[in-house]
Chain A
Amino acid sequence: MTTRLTELTIAKARDGLLAGDFSAEELTTAHLEAMESARNLNAFVTETPELAVQRARASDARRAGGDVRGAMDGIPVAVKDLFCTEGVLTTAGSHILDGFRPPYESTVTANLIEAGAVMLGKTNMDEFAMGSSNMASYYGSVKSPWRGSKGQNLVPGGSSGGSAAAVAARLSMGATGTDTGGSIRQPASFCGIVGLKPTYGRCSRWGIVAFASSLDQAGPLTRSVRDAAIMLGAMAGHDIKDSTSVPFALPDFEAAVTGDIRGLKVGIPKEYTLDGMSNDIQVLWDDGIKWLEEQGAECQELSLPHTKYALPTYYIVAPAEASSNLARYDGVRYGLRVNGASIDEMYENTRGEGFGEEVRRRILIGTYVLSAGYYDAYYLKAQKVRTLIARDFRQAFEDVDVLLTPTAPTAAFAISEKTDDPVAMYLNDVFTVPASMAGLPAISVPAGLDADGLPLGLHLIGRPFDEETVLRTAEALETAAGFTARPDGVGA
């Protein structure tokens, strides 16, 4: 019974809870046991078993009284440690937030609580969401539940790597992530699960530890497209506390997953073919085109001419915004303080000790590109290129409904590979960053395995606030791909 419960999708668990086949408490307990036996993955910074059982029992009690709050009621989920959770340690994967217990709950997690979801714990991540490997966490690397062909430990991707590992390893049914340049989609691709970054403005950013405010967006990581639709519905919505969250009525995302993509127009951007890209990726992409066409979609090649400039643009805009956002970590109001003789020394000591190397690099880059004399050459230039990137997409969406690309240029790599060269690490996000720069909804769907038996994702990008088409197309890919492979490195 226990193992079977952790195998369920959210949609199946909802049906089982409705039919009374099991209780929310049984479902939660099964996942807590799985978490305990998979601590070797280091997927969680904090486990919250008491809170989880308490919320599961409350869900059962409500249900017994005829009050069911929707599909997420009683569903156990993990929460990226970037979301402030009232009274529960929130670290952002950083030393500088030592001991921080927020006095408030982020809007997204408050929405999940309101929907009856059960939080299992807070997941490990790259410090302040800056990374594509989870090697940049103060709490240590997360191990992917997948293993290399020679048994090597692999990265789960990042920055939402703990969330992706937890969902792939069947430790939680879904997890929240955040995506600034690919931090939901790239780990989803590496771990063989679904990861959805909604349109900028769909989910409130209130109470999410800020990295780059014009890019950050919360979204779900799940094991099916339908589950992503269900979970997004419980996370999203207008919030008066975030002026960039849009005042639009939420569609029924699950209802959008109809299985019918006849007549859909799909764009294949030619700039997403990279020199030296692995043949496995190209073959998978071609498969994706074929799968959509077989189900009645029309695919056409098109051009997004500024694609290659998205990543360097990102590495000006995101560090610039990060250097401003992270100015708040001053050793005064929360977290770590390292004393000094003067207040400046206290700031310098606290921030020198509290930030890891990648965060320090990005703050310094951001400080430099915003400094007097360089603002126009770097930041202003980048924001102009960003306008051109967004314009490319807008023009493409006059002809097509959705774009199909690979999610990442490679499968997962081994822990400790690629650490010497920051730019080589940044290239992980080459296919995910352009949609982030334009604020567009995008999803990664597990679609196949490479020659080493590691998962690869396909990536769909949609029009602003058209998550419905993205989800509908994603399910068509999911059905055709029939991805059933599963990781075997859990709990060993």
Chain B
Amino acid sequence: MPLDKNTVRRIAFLARIRVPEDALEPLVGELNKILGWVEQLSEVDTEGIEPMTSVAEITLPLRTDEVTDGYYSDRVLANAPGSKGPFYTVPKVLD
């Protein structure tokens, strides 16, 4: 399943990463090389094999649904590139 330039452009948009036009072609080559190499997995017989869903063989614990943290929006917002009052600011989303 070789990728072409348009597919890479589309994937980059899905990932919200601006890729300059002149960087697309080299990326096509690199990504195809990686995908071609992982293709060898198709020779492994995985008929009837369950996909791994948990690394450690333990049951994930449940905890009580309660608020244990919070109420310090000033500390949380301290790292924001843009904020106003207790809010983050972003470019206009609605016209």
Residues of chain A having any CB pair with chain B under 8 Å: 99-103, 199-201, 214-215, 240, 243-244, 246-247, 306, 308-309, 312-313, 315-316, 323, 330-337, 339-349, 351-353, 355, 360-361, 363-365, 367-368, 371, 374, 377-378, 380-388, 390, 421-423, 438-439, 464
Is B67 interfacial (CB-CB < 8 Å)?
Answer: no
Contact partner, A343, options B17, B46, B63, B90, Cβ 8 Å: B90
Apart from A361-B34, A368-B3, A381-B44: 5 A-B pairs, beta carbons within 8 A: A243-B61, A315-B38, A335-B81, A351-B18, A388-B46
Secondary structure class of chain B's binding surface, majority of residues: loop
| Interface magnitude class on chain B | 35 or more
Tell me the nearest residue of chain B to A103, going by C-beta. Answer: B75
Tell me the nearest residue of chain B to A391, going by C-beta. Answer: B49
Contact partner, B51, options A103, A243, A330, A386, Cβ 8 Å: A386
Q: How far is the CA of A146 from the CA of B6 in the complex (A)?
A: 45
B76 cross-chain contacts in A, Cβ below 8 A: 103, 333
A340 cross-chain contacts in B, Cβ below 8 A: 91
B27 cross-chain contacts in A, Cβ below 8 A: 361, 364
A438 cross-chain contacts in B, Cβ below 8 A: 55
Q: How far is the CA of A383 from the CA of B81 in the complex (A)?
A: 38
Q: Is the CB of B44 within 8 A of A364?
A: no
Tell me the nearest residue of chain B to A316, going by C-beta. Answer: B38
| B45 CB to nearest A CB, Å | 9
Q: How far is the CA of A377 from the CA of B27 in the complex (A)?
A: 21
Tell me the nearest residue of chain B to A336, going by C-beta. Answer: B81
Q: Is the CB of B55 within 8 A of A214?
A: yes
| A35 CB to nearest B CB, Å | 27
B20 cross-chain contacts in A, Cβ below 8 A: 352
| B46 CB to nearest A CB, Å | 4
Q: Is the CB of B17 within 8 A of A334?
A: no
A353 cross-chain contacts in B, Cβ below 8 A: 18
Q: How far is the CA of A39 from the CA of B30 in the complex (A)?
A: 34
Q: Is the CB of A332 within 8 A of B13?
A: no
B61 cross-chain contacts in A, Cβ below 8 A: 243, 247
A367 cross-chain contacts in B, Cβ below 8 A: 11, 14-15
Contact partner, B41, options A246, A363, A381, Cβ 8 Å: A381
A363 cross-chain contacts in B, Cβ below 8 A: 15, 17
28 of the cross-chain contacts (CB-CB < 8 Å) are: A103-B75, A103-B79, A199-B56, A214-B55, A312-B41, A315-B34, A332-B81, A332-B82, A333-B88, A335-B81, A337-B82, A342-B91, A343-B91, A345-B91, A351-B15, A351-B17, A352-B19, A363-B17, A367-B11, A383-B53, A384-B49, A385-B41, A385-B44, A387-B51, A388-B49, A421-B33, A423-B37, A439-B56
Q: How far is the CA of A378 from the CA of B46 in the complex (A)?
A: 12
Q: Is the CB of A364 within 8 A of B93?
A: no
Q: Is the CB of B56 within 8 A of A355?
A: no
B18 cross-chain contacts in A, Cβ below 8 A: 348-349, 351-353
Q: How far is the CA of A201 from the CA of B78 in the complex (A)?
A: 31
Q: Is the CB of B91 within 8 A of A346?
A: yes
| B73 CB to nearest A CB, Å | 11
Q: How far is the CA of A215 from the CA of B36 in the complex (A)?
A: 23
| A465 CB to nearest B CB, Å | 8
| B92 CB to nearest A CB, Å | 8
A387 cross-chain contacts in B, Cβ below 8 A: 49-52
Interface string of B1-25 (1 = CB under 8 A from A): 1010001100111111111100000
Contact partner, A323, options B15, B33, B50, B75, Cβ 8 Å: B15
